[in-house]
Amino acid sequence: MKNSSKPKNSFINYYAIVDFIGPFYTKKALDVINWQFDKNFIYGWGIDWDCCYQIRKNGLKVAIDYNSQIKHYGSTTYKNKRDKEFSNEHEYHQKASKVFHEVMEKKYGINWRERIINLI
């Protein structure tokens, strides 16, 4: 049986094929799906589900490259809207989750999760 753990101190190509990851994609993948920002995801939640589904539906794989590093210096895209519209983080999360589910249901139907996970 093949060892699935990451080799220590190794810089070999080590990656895992996954169904979803977000929000980091290659330009090639986004070009293949002709991706455009969907304004309905007004709080930013759900874009990764939608994008990964489209990438996989177009025959590409979604993978995590364990040799890569991503540094996140803070979110400004949605922070201003969030800080103006909501009194606390919990309130924001509830609304963002609700909108995310509504958008996905509108795009893919009531069984959107099953459809996306099973690549229907």
The pLDDT tens digits of the residues spanning 58-112 come to 888 887 777 776 665 665 556 666 777 888 888 888 998 999 999 999 999 999 9
**Could you tell me the two tokens for 49?**
């589900």
pLDDT score for 101: 95
**Count of structural domains within the chain:** 1
Range of the domain at 68: 15-117
Question: Nearest CA to 115 among 45, 54, 36?
Answer: 54
Neighbour tally for 99: CB within 10 Å: 17
Q: Average pLDDT of 44-55?
A: 85
The answer to the question of residue 70 being in a domain is yes
The answer to the question of residue 29 being in a domain is yes
The answer to the question of residue 54 being in a domain is yes
Half-sphere exposure of 100 (CA within 13 A, CB side): 15
Buried b (16+ CB within 10 A) or exposed e, 40-74: ebebbbbbbbbbbbbbbeeebebeeeeeeeeeeee
